[in-house]
Amino acid sequence: MATLKAVRGTRDLLPPETELWNRIEATARAVFARYNFGEIRTPVFEDTALFSRSVGEETDIVSKEMYTWEDRARAQSEKSQSLTLRPENTAGVVRAYIEHKLGETGQLQKLYYIGPQFRRERPQKGRYRQFWQIGAEVIGPPSSGSESPLRDAEVLEMLATLLDELGITGWTLELNSVGSSADRERYNAVLRAALVEVAPKMCVDCQRRAVTNPLRVLDCKVPEDQPIIATLPVIADSLDEDSRAHFAAVTTALNAAGVAYNLNRHLVRGLDYYTRTTFEFTHGGLGAQNALLGGGRYDGLSESIGGPKAPGIGFAMGLDRLVLTLQAQESVESSAAPEKIHAYIAPLGESLNAAALTLARELRRAGLRIDLGDGGFRLKKSLETADKMARRIVILGEDELRSGILTVKDFASGTQTKVPRAELARVLAEPSGR
Ligand code: AMP
């Protein structure tokens, strides 16, 4: 029988690598807490319409990459429904914001999430079909200040702080404004006009987008189309006074806070819901898939899925890519052996197994990291196993059990001592090798 493997584009995360994942997640949670964000967890699958209406029909994500299926009704009272594994989490968060009427609190909502997302992309280094995102959203009714450029600057400053605290060095913040929806409409018209002449020389996708959603032409990855794209008008020239002032206020606040950025007039991002500020943090060490994270403002998203006016701004960072970046940076550190546990308990004979479990329970409750052998093992095997993973071995034979004085061998110094059970936890907690 052919062996079963993880599906193409998905992978297992094993210890000790998962320690790095947990460390990144813990740092992100700690930073978000300092900025007064709370955690939200939304379902992994949603109604397909949520993504087509928000991310956009013409985007690569919706048109090519979603895992969508028709979910058959189980009972007469149910309807069949088209469902999709979430390709991103902002749409789900905004759906939840609307569903739970969070806007009625009048307060700005600051929410973060950590979880898997799914896109049927061509797998390569840093690009998977199941990948993890850490993201956050700041959303609320206009009266909560959700449209303020200060919110944009604060989110970007938080991201700079988070990357610094994760120990990621050498990142670049690419920044642009794609304007309000009115600016976008104006720009779409300019772009559509410019495309009339050049679109026939472009790929078939672009020929279609030139008519249906011209902005998406700018996401095209086909190499032959790039020289043509470079000649197209830029969105900056279509921004009105308000959009220019909003963007200027974002950059003024970033300058004041000392957050460095690159103005990138070609950055439009591959999702339809973005308005005004858009950004990406890139890292040279990642190769072709160089975006650590991306995000932007989405002032019309709530309304596009039937909600109240609720401007917002958010981002999603690729956890897989943070891990790759840190692994490359810390190659020396991460190749070092994982830290050893406090002790390995070796019962001498199966009749001592139950007593060994009790001893392990006592020590673990005292906060020590303990592993437990089996009385069926020979002492030589226990010593070899323990030496690989633990600083000390505790030998539990009939004599030790009766007298309450245990035999402890310290692997670093090679010394063997007798330790009363009442002092065992204290002795095992001491550094080894003495
Ligand atoms: P997006 O939701 O497309 O704006 O992507 C935000 C971030 O998620 C990117 O900057 C990447 O770090 C990460 N990301 C997106 N797609 C993938 C993928 N297929 N595999 C791994 N990470 C991804």
Which residue type, as a one-letter code, is found at position 74? R
Ligand 1: which of 7, 113, 293 to mutate, most ligand atoms within 8 Å of CB?
293
- Residue 331 has a pLDDT of 64
- In the chain, where the domains are located: 17-180+240-332, 341-429
**Ligand 1 center to residue 122 CA distance, Å?**
13
What does DSSP say about strands 312-318 and 341-347: parallel, antiparallel, or unpaired? unpaired
For residue 152, pLDDT over 50 is answered with yes
Where is the binding site, in residues? 88-90, 119, 133, 137, 269, 273-274
Where is the binding site for L-histidine, in residues? 88-90, 119, 133, 137, 269, 273-274
pLDDT category at 332 given cuts 50, 70, 90 is very low
pLDDT category at 76 given cuts 50, 70, 90 is confident
Q: pLDDT tens for residues 43-62?
A: 999 999 999 999 998 888 99
Angle formed at CA 275 by CA 123 and CA 147, multiple of 5 degrees: 125
Pick the CATH number of 341-429 from 3.90.1580.10, 3.40.50.800, 3.40.50.1360, 3.50.50.60: 3.40.50.800
**Spatial distance between the Cα atoms of 329 and 285, rounded to a whole number of angstroms:** 9
From atom 4 of ligand 1, which residue's Cα is the shortest distance away? 294
The residue-averaged pLDDT of 146-150 equals: 97
Q: What percent of the chain has pLDDT over 90?
A: 84
Ligand 1: which of 131, 176, 178 to mutate, most ligand atoms within 8 Å of CB?
131
**Ligand 1 center to residue 317 CA distance, Å?**
7
Assigned architecture for domain 17-180+240-332: 2-Layer Sandwich (3.30)
- Residue 432 has a pLDDT of 87
Q: How many alpha carbons fall within 13 Å on the CB side of residue 373?
A: 31
Name the more confident of 272 and 316: 316
**Spatial distance between the Cα atoms of 8 and 5, rounded to a whole number of angstroms:** 9
The residue-averaged pLDDT of 244-252 equals: 97
Ligand 1 atom with the smallest distance to the CA of 90 is: 2
Question: DSSP states of 355-410 as a string?
Answer: HHHHHHHHHHHTT--EEE--TTS-HHHHHHHHHHHEEEEEEE-HHHHHHSEEEEEE
Question: What element of type H or E holds 171?
Answer: strand 171-177
Ligand 1 atom with the smallest distance to the CA of 316 is: 6
**Ligand 1 center to residue 409 CA distance, Å?**
50
Q: Is the pTM of this model over 0.85?
A: yes
- Residue 333 has a pLDDT of 54
**Spatial distance between the Cα atoms of 378 and 414, rounded to a whole number of angstroms:** 19
**Ligand 1 center to residue 268 CA distance, Å?**
15
Give Cα separations from 277 to 71, 148, 250, 260, 394 (angstroms). 37, 11, 8, 15, 61
Rounded (10°) angle between helices 17-34 and 149-166: 140
From atom 10 of ligand 1, which residue's Cα is the shortest distance away? 293
- Residue 273 has a pLDDT of 87
**Ligand 1 center to residue 124 CA distance, Å?**
12
pLDDT category at 272 given cuts 50, 70, 90 is confident
User: Which residues make Cβ contacts (< 8 Å) with residue 322, sequence separation at least 6?
Assistant: 24, 134, 166, 168, 292
**Ligand 1 center to residue 321 CA distance, Å?**
8
From atom 22 of ligand 1, which residue's Cα is the shortest distance away? 318
Ligand 1 atom with the smallest distance to the CA of 88 is: 2
pLDDT category at 7 given cuts 50, 70, 90 is very high
Please say whether the beta carbons of 119 and 61 come within 8 A: yes
- Residue 424 has a pLDDT of 97
For residue 336, pLDDT over 70 is answered with no
What does DSSP say about strands 130-139 and 370-372: parallel, antiparallel, or unpaired? unpaired
Ligand 1 pocket by C-beta < 6 Å: which residues? 88, 119, 121, 126-128, 131, 133, 270, 291-294, 316-318, 320-321
Strands, E, within 227-302: which ranges?
A: 262-263, 275-283, 291-297
From atom 16 of ligand 1, which residue's Cα is the shortest distance away? 127
Question: DSSP states of 66-99 as a string?
Answer: --EEEE--SSTTS--EEEEE-S-SHHHHHHHHHH
The residue-averaged pLDDT of 95-116 equals: 97
DSSP-assigned letter for residue 233? P
- Residue 420 has a pLDDT of 97
Q: pLDDT tens for residues 354-405?
A: 999 999 999 999 999 999 999 999 999 999 999 999 999 999 999 999 999 9
For residue 343, pLDDT over 50 is answered with yes
109 — phi, psi (to 5°)? -100, 130
**Ligand 1 center to residue 423 CA distance, Å?**
52
Ligand 1 atom with the smallest distance to the CA of 280 is: 10
